[in-house]
Amino acid sequence: MHVRWSHETPRPESDLVVFLHGFGADENDLVPLGNSFDDRYTIASVQAPKKLPEHFGGYCWFPISTELEANGQDIVTPVKQLDDWVQSVASDYRSVSLLGFSQGMAMATSLMRMRPGAYATIIGLSGFVVDATGTPELQSLFQDDQVAATKQPFFWGYDPGDPIVASDRIAETGAWLRPRVNLEERTYNGIGHGIHPQEIAHFMTFLNEHM
């Protein structure tokens, strides 16, 4: 995995936060958020594996349609690869948390579903949850029946009028999350498909309270 680190060497006394960018971005996209994290945290901003055509630019975790529909089989390999990488570095830190924006939130929730209870906190911003229906291999990776028992601290921020993540996908995501995680759900009208400074302050308070 291509990763941009806030610190060049492992810091066992720190808490790792893994940044997962959205469709069409790269490992640099979320780096400015790192300015809100104090020195107790180490940031690892990961680049998605699939390069998009030059006319579009950036990278993606898996192909999606304009309606955010995806072939479940296309999700299996990148989720496994990302999980392998996270597990390879996790022991170098006091804890691991995930922060995913847009498609990166789909990856963050997928990692949570693979290893319920493995993450200190998860922050999902303007994103969605993967539908594993019809993909047996993905269903076998996800331990959805165990997620609720972990009471996973989860921050979910979004604009109900998001022009990219349609209202039905937001509704589906909420219906999946609410009964399964210890959810702090906040809405930010008018931010579109973006991240607002107030939202950053809210998820930092959430993160610090749960660490």
DSSP secondary structure, 39-58, as one string: TTEEEEEEPPSEEPPTTT-S
Model confidence pLDDT, tens digit, residues 8-29:
899 999 999 999 999 999 999 9
- Give Cα 67 to chain centroid, integer Å: 19
CA distance 24 to 22: 6
Structure tokens at 62: 């898996």
Claim: this prediction has a pTM higher than 0.85: yes
Model confidence pLDDT, tens digit, residues 118-177:
999 999 999 999 988 888 888 999 999 999 999 999 999 999 999 999 999 999 999 999
